[in-house]
Structure 1
């Protein structure tokens, strides 16, 4: 079996591909502000002047001065691409001339107000789409954006300011940015600029201070801008680590990973992870490892798992499901590769003797987590009681399910009868292969424990009927002892592998069915032309 740790020393192919795609595109720098008037356009023009001084070919695609003298002074000295005039219902509107910029092909273009909606009849309905086309031609772009225009924060901003912003930019644009420069101004300083008439005319400024630009609103918007910028910086750090095969975690920023499975008490873990992420001001992810055993879950367990994943998503987590074999190793590998600094898991619910036999996920995680902090959480009393009942029922089912063991006994008896028939024609050591047939059949039909039981009684039968002295459990020949030991080892390994392959096949069929269902559903949605069609596709 190859060493999984070797993969951790190799650069991530996805990160390398992302890096190659970025190198082929122009670089995007976003000057992000908490509110209008913080100085985004001013800082963009100042940065552009610095690039001009370095000999870079810089032009202005579009800059809105809003009548501010200090901004207009900075525009002087730039080459400005003339705007395109658009006739809309008898009104002449001016828009950025995308074709002129592409024909001019500068090294850097300054584009103000990224969230702007273009006039009808333009090539793209939104200015950020113009910017994306410019970037695909290898031209760098400096642009400005207010946090209120970020799509994922639209509801939050509306709740804070009681104003619904209609012009938004998808978060994917921010994720594509090579640099985000936060233009930070304290609420008091921004209000002072408003009172001095540097943002709006005095009459408008007074109304703005009383409503949108209240100190509380500005403080909340400022925090949103800082947190969204920190999130993008964290993503860039992760991409850098993956592209250069740097083992994590780097504790430059906190990230929380909560492990979700079908055991009762998972809701407490999810809520704890949310509280931990809030305290740390960190992003968090809910992770489920889909093992071959998952295919054998009961409907109740499947419903419980789906409910937990929905709860995590509702609380703001990114939900991730990965295939795996060894749950502890897969969790640690995922946490390390994605720079998580905290793992939240549940307290062990198995009995001590089952942990000794099957191992403990909790202890394996703690032992292998390295520099990652592991939080072991127990559910509330109600969940703990439910967990106790579930584990007890599982133990009872595991103990009293006799039928697989009876079938395993029958397979071994059949193998014994066949071996007795061939005893006169085959060497004793070759007869062991016949017993392996019974062991593997037990593994396929009954699972691991019946297969191990078949290994044991096969070894006893092989010794009793075929090893000298026959019809006793005594072994005289040392070579026979070695042969019997080898048989046991081979039988155990073969049965274990057979059960594992069987579980993988069941899991693969389940994933194939799920993929087919998703494909059919997406096909229905693609053909839906009305809301009724969408509802019909969802219902059936």
Structure 2
């Protein structure tokens, strides 16, 4: 069964607002209509521009859908109506637009995708500043953060992209003539967003982004048609690096050549030999990688059996136009017999230019010592000692038998000694043992003895074979030692990086945990994570003794980002540890980003709570605050009247006092809630007795209403006097109101680490499923007395949390509700 045809996507990409992308899209729509194509307009915004409105005339427009949001009606594209209409082509303006909340889909790009799935072609528009990958760059250029963005992949995978461009001067003239914005917006726009520098930078961003997309399309075409020869559509320079001292020279030469042509690419390539024989200096490779990045290039590592073939294959696949390779560092004799890498690359490159660069290391200068060994200094010294002692001891033992026919056995025994020395000390001690064994066998065991001459040709062959085998075995052992050392180091790095990856994916690490792990991994004395501030560096996280407080105060440093750096104090790190250290830096950057996101979420949540509180307060104020004010106003009007009698005057004064107290309670609760929501409550904690607080908290109620039952033996609590008094007063006042005349009991219950203050009422109680909700602001449940805003319990719980305690509700045996206020005991016991 054939899948339905997917609609084609054509994108008109604007280099800046006002360049005419919507006008160009409508022009294309009219041209297709003239050719008989069924074209409709799904959504176009003219922004009051006369020429755009004129171009829209005569085209069929699908009516928009109405969406209600917060009491206001908005219009959005009716995607379902467009699909039901099923035209051949639909025009959809502003691809990056976010739909009004309540719409079927969040982004207009999702609507476009749904239309394309229905087999309808889409013509759309988007500005370069709305591409997700360029959001940060656009903000740095213009100072404006684009809130509406679209993923690059949506635009990059379009079937056709048309760039709508205009020079900055021409665009500013359009702006000045009123063809883009209204007259009252022209001056502000010309002096802010539409400055020449901003428009030039946006134009360059659009051209570079589109060039990359065209380059990707060219690569797809070459692969689809199996075109292996590079097409020089763009200057790409591949610098082949061996890891030698000349690597930086080659990179700088390549960068200078790349700068001669705008848009050129610099690609650094290091080929790792598949046989593992050649081992490059990793510290130089790391420095070359950093240099390539600083020069604006990219760094790549590939594995290949033939280095020259690997370089050419990579350059061909990258569509390179030039390969830069250094002149061979080997001596003339080796170049004579084996040739050079540059010559082999030139013979294989075909149409790719090969540029040979001379350097100071040409001809063998500056080559590393051939006998450098990965073994420890102790093993090398032990090997050298054994390379002298063991052949001598073996000679003494063999001289005891003094059998002239045992030369083959002697050769095997000396070979065994050489292999043992190679296993212990590596290449150089093994060569010493082989040479010593050769001389000892020649002098003591090869006829004629006591002379360095050999009578039998077969004995000559045996001695030569012995030396050759000894050298071969020594080289194999030395190479195996190198590979084992590399394998152990690679395994350690892989284990560490895997651990880092797991911690990043699970989001478990904090900055403190990262620096602690880094100190343990590299055995450093101290590790610091520093942040750049307006007045210098500050310590974000530190581990160890005497951590550095500045980048120059440590022994090793690695940058996390532009504003953060990790400083290590202790023994200098090996160059091979650089990759792991950079992995730690990358993880630290993610940890800091997670921290910023969490703080942003917390701020957003706080703002959302504050907005909800403000909204609820405004709604409540319209009724609950007006009630006591209306009562006071009526009472005052009565008091100023001449006809009021003394008894009525006394009643009116009482009403004013009652309303004033009610109003004070409401305002106090509102202020307390505002302080709690804003995090401004700062308790002054100290040790004090409940006898200092509870009598004041329950005062003011009619006699017999509240019973205070607290023993003198109750231990001290660690709390704030005023805040605790306010919490208990709120709880008692609430209990008295719901008890309807029944006595409220205030008790104290001592626990090992806290003291519980129990406020027991005989009211109607609260069902268990509603007890948590009653602690939320503006929740009065079934209380219809109109005596408050429903803030008392919310304020009480907020203040309790600030005191380090808890507040919960339980059933009162026999009916009612018991509020349990838990307060920490003094001294933590």
TM-score (norm. length: structure 2): 0.47
**Shift in CA distance, 297/209, structure 1 to aligned 2, threshold 3 Å:** same
Give me the whole-angstrom Cα distance separating, in 1, the residues matched to 2:423 and 2:188: 76
- Whether the aligned pair in 2 keeps the contact of 1:32 and 1:180 (CA below 8 Å) is yes
User: Corresponding residue for 2:268?
Assistant: 286
**Shift in CA distance, 145/319, structure 1 to aligned 2, threshold 3 Å:** farther
- Whether the aligned pair in 2 keeps the contact of 1:37 and 1:199 (CA below 8 Å) is yes
- Offset at 1:198? 1.1
**Shift in CA distance, 97/287, structure 1 to aligned 2, threshold 3 Å:** farther
Q: Give the secondary-structure state (helix, strand or coil) at the position aligned to 1:287.
A: strand
Asked if 1:70 is matched to 2:70, the reply is: no
Give me the whole-angstrom Cα distance separating, in 2, the residues matched to 1:79 and 1:538: 64
- Offset at 1:330? 0.9
> Where do 1:321-400 residues align within 5 Å?
321-356=301-336, 360-377=340-357, 384=360, 391-395=366-370, 397=372
- Whether the aligned pair in 2 keeps the contact of 1:88 and 1:120 (CA below 8 Å) is yes
Which of 100, 111, 131 in structure 2 is aligned with 1:150? Answer: 131
- Offset at 1:250? 0.6
User: Corresponding residue for 1:527?
Assistant: 506
Question: Which structure has the highest helix share of the two?
Answer: 1
- Whether the aligned pair in 2 keeps the contact of 1:404 and 1:446 (CA below 8 Å) is yes
- After superposition, the C-alpha distances for 1:422-467 in whole angstroms (9 at most, x for unaligned) are xxxxxxxxxxxxxxx99999999999999999xxxxxxxxxxxxxx
Superposition RMSD on alpha carbons, in Å? 5.6
Give me the whole-angstrom Cα distance separating, in 1, the residues matched to 2:317 and 2:136: 32
**Shift in CA distance, 321/219, structure 1 to aligned 2, threshold 3 Å:** same
Give me the whole-angstrom Cα distance separating, in 2, the residues matched to 1:502 and 1:514: 18
Give me the whole-angstrom Cα distance separating, in 2, the residues matched to 1:133 and 1:505: 56
**Shift in CA distance, 513/219, structure 1 to aligned 2, threshold 3 Å:** same
User: Corresponding residue for 1:223?
Assistant: 204
**Shift in CA distance, 196/374, structure 1 to aligned 2, threshold 3 Å:** same
Which of 236, 249, 252 in structure 1 is aligned with 2:233? Answer: 252
User: Corresponding residue for 2:77?
Assistant: 96
User: Corresponding residue for 1:58?
Assistant: 39
Give me the whole-angstrom Cα distance separating, in 1, the residues matched to 2:50 and 2:504: 52
**Shift in CA distance, 191/526, structure 1 to aligned 2, threshold 3 Å:** same
- Offset at 1:236? 0.9
Give me the whole-angstrom Cα distance separating, in 1, the residues matched to 2:370 and 2:33: 74
Give me the whole-angstrom Cα distance separating, in 2, the residues matched to 1:49 and 1:473: 104
- After superposition, the C-alpha distances for 1:317-344 in whole angstroms (9 at most, x for unaligned) are 3433322222221111011122111223
Q: Give the secondary-structure state (helix, strand or coil) at the position aligned to 1:394.
A: coil
- Offset at 1:240? 0.6
User: Corresponding residue for 1:211?
Assistant: 192
Which of 34, 42, 51 in structure 1 is aligned with 2:23? Answer: 42
Asked if 1:190 is matched to 2:155, the reply is: no
**Shift in CA distance, 38/348, structure 1 to aligned 2, threshold 3 Å:** same
- Offset at 1:212? 2.6
**Shift in CA distance, 181/407, structure 1 to aligned 2, threshold 3 Å:** farther
- Offset at 1:290? 3.2
Give me the whole-angstrom Cα distance separating, in 1, the residues matched to 2:94 and 2:88: 20
- Whether the aligned pair in 1 keeps the contact of 2:169 and 2:196 (CA below 8 Å) is yes
What number of residue pairs does the alignment pair up?
494
- Whether the aligned pair in 1 keeps the contact of 2:244 and 2:280 (CA below 8 Å) is no
Give me the whole-angstrom Cα distance separating, in 2, the residues matched to 1:501 and 1:245: 41
Q: Give the secondary-structure state (helix, strand or coil) at the position aligned to 2:68.
A: strand
Q: Give the secondary-structure state (helix, strand or coil) at the position aligned to 1:50.
A: helix
Give me the whole-angstrom Cα distance separating, in 1, the residues matched to 2:491 and 2:421: 27
- Whether the aligned pair in 2 keeps the contact of 1:38 and 1:184 (CA below 8 Å) is yes
User: Corresponding residue for 1:431?
Assistant: none
User: Corresponding residue for 1:486?
Assistant: none
Structure 1 unmatched runs, 5+: 1-22, 409-436, 454-470, 482-491
Give me the whole-angstrom Cα distance separating, in 2, the residues matched to 1:242 and 1:445: 53
**Shift in CA distance, 318/393, structure 1 to aligned 2, threshold 3 Å:** closer
User: Corresponding residue for 1:465?
Assistant: none
Q: Give the secondary-structure state (helix, strand or coil) at the position aligned to 2:320.
A: coil
**Shift in CA distance, 34/528, structure 1 to aligned 2, threshold 3 Å:** same
**Shift in CA distance, 110/520, structure 1 to aligned 2, threshold 3 Å:** farther
> Where do 1:80-159 residues align within 5 Å?
80-101=61-82, 106-122=87-103, 125-132=106-113, 134-135=115-116, 138-159=119-140
- Offset at 1:45? 1.7
- After superposition, the C-alpha distances for 1:144-183 in whole angstroms (9 at most, x for unaligned) are 2222233444444444434443433443334323322111
- Whether the aligned pair in 2 keeps the contact of 1:115 and 1:167 (CA below 8 Å) is yes
Give me the whole-angstrom Cα distance separating, in 1, the residues matched to 2:115 and 2:515: 39
Give me the whole-angstrom Cα distance separating, in 2, the residues matched to 1:511 and 1:106: 60
**Shift in CA distance, 223/538, structure 1 to aligned 2, threshold 3 Å:** same
Give me the whole-angstrom Cα distance separating, in 2, the residues matched to 1:112 and 1:208: 22
User: Corresponding residue for 1:421?
Assistant: none
**Shift in CA distance, 62/368, structure 1 to aligned 2, threshold 3 Å:** same
- After superposition, the C-alpha distances for 1:397-440 in whole angstroms (9 at most, x for unaligned) are 38xx99999999xxxxxxxxxxxxxxxxxxxxxxxxxxxx9999
Give me the whole-angstrom Cα distance separating, in 2, the residues matched to 1:474 and 1:102: 99
Structure 2 unmatched runs, 5+: 374-379, 388-415, 433-452, 462-470, 518-829
**Shift in CA distance, 80/501, structure 1 to aligned 2, threshold 3 Å:** farther
Q: Give the secondary-structure state (helix, strand or coil) at the position aligned to 2:369.
A: helix
- Whether the aligned pair in 2 keeps the contact of 1:260 and 1:309 (CA below 8 Å) is no
Give me the whole-angstrom Cα distance separating, in 2, the residues matched to 1:59 and 1:96: 12
Give me the whole-angstrom Cα distance separating, in 1, the residues matched to 2:495 and 2:214: 37
Give me the whole-angstrom Cα distance separating, in 2, the residues matched to 1:502 and 1:278: 44
Q: Give the secondary-structure state (helix, strand or coil) at the position aligned to 1:116.
A: coil
- Whether the aligned pair in 2 keeps the contact of 1:258 and 1:287 (CA below 8 Å) is yes
Give me the whole-angstrom Cα distance separating, in 2, the residues matched to 1:442 and 1:222: 69
- After superposition, the C-alpha distances for 1:373-414 in whole angstroms (9 at most, x for unaligned) are 2334467xxxx58x999944334538xx99999999xxxxxx
Give me the whole-angstrom Cα distance separating, in 2, the residues matched to 1:361 and 1:520: 39
**Shift in CA distance, 62/448, structure 1 to aligned 2, threshold 3 Å:** farther
Q: Which has the higher contact order (CA 8 A, sep 6+)?
A: 1
